[in-house]
């Protein structure tokens, strides 16, 4: 048991498959490591801690409270770093910042709600989809090329997410469907 949840083999396999897909996309060790890569490792660690905190807090508080607590902690933690390079935003930039904040808050709220009703081993493979969306955004907005490795990794991630979603649905439906003997008088 981890965080009070049973670690079923199907769930562990979905997480591992998603992680393998992410590693295929990122290909660590086969590319030159830059400061950006190191920053992303730190970001991944921070998100991992944030997800664990959100999961633990979602068992005790409602989603709105969890989002508020984590938002305050992030603001307090990052404000000193922003202070050194702060540039007042233009009105247009301020509009974009508010739009991004609204979407981020909605996403964080939805994630926290998911943590409250589903095990981490079910919700975690879905977070690997962020790599797929980032890759598509890079292609469509910035014209970044996509190679076969990215397609393979993305397919693995999509397969893991599809499998765990389908399997959890089947198990939930099976739990709700009465046995034939239970329906007889």
Q: Other CB atoms closer than 10 Å to residue 159's CB: what's the count?
A: 15
Return the pLDDT at 91. Answer: 97
Beta bridge partners of 98: none
Return the pLDDT at 106. Answer: 95
The answer to pTM > 0.75 is no
Return the pLDDT at 144. Answer: 85
Return the pLDDT at 64. Answer: 93
Average pLDDT of every residue of the chain: 81
* pLDDT(170) > 70: yes
Return the pLDDT at 127. Answer: 73
Return the pLDDT at 28. Answer: 66
Q: Where are the domains of the chain?
A: 9-183
Report how far residue 185's alpha carbon sits from residue 176's, in angstroms, rounded to the nearest whole number.
19
Rounded (5°) CA angle 25-27-29 = 170
Could you tell me the CA-to-CA distances from 107 to 31, 102, 176 in Å, in that order?
31, 9, 29
What angle do the packed helices 35-58 and 63-83 form, to 10 degrees? 150
- Residues 22-57: tens digit of each pLDDT: 788 777 666 676 777 677 777 777 777 777 788 888
Report how far residue 179's alpha carbon sits from residue 184's, in angstroms, rounded to the nearest whole number.
9
Return the pLDDT at 149. Answer: 84
The mean-pLDDT minimum among 58-67, 91-100, 152-161 falls in 152-161
* pLDDT(154) > 90: no
Mean per-residue pLDDT, 74-78: 88
Q: HSE (CB half, 13 Å, CA atoms) of 185?
A: 0
The mean-pLDDT minimum among 89-93, 137-141, 177-181 falls in 177-181
């Amino acid at each position: 048991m981890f965080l009070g949840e049973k670690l079923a083999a199907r769930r562990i396999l979905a997480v591992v498959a998603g992680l393998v897909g992410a590693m295929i996309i990122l290909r660590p060790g086969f590319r030159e490591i830059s400061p950006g890569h190191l920053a992303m490792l730190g970001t991944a660690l921070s998100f991992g801690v944030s997800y664990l905190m959100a999961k633990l807090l979602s068992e005790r508080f409602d989603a709105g409270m969890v989002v508020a607590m984590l938002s305050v902690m992030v603001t307090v933690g990052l404000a000193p770093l922003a202070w050194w390079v702060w540039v007042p935003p233009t009105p247009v930039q301020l509009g974009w910042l508010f739009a991004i904040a609204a979407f981020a808050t909605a996403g964080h709220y939805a994630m926290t709600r998911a943590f409250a009703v589903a095990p981490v081993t079910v919700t975690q493979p879905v977070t690997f989809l962020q790599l797929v969306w980032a890759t598509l955004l890079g292609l469509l907005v910035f014209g970044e090329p996509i190679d076969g490795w990215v397609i393979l990794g993305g397919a693995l991630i999509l397969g893991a997410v599809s499998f765990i979603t389908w399997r959890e649905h089947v198990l939930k439906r099976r739990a709700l469907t009465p046995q034939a003997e239970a329906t007889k008088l």
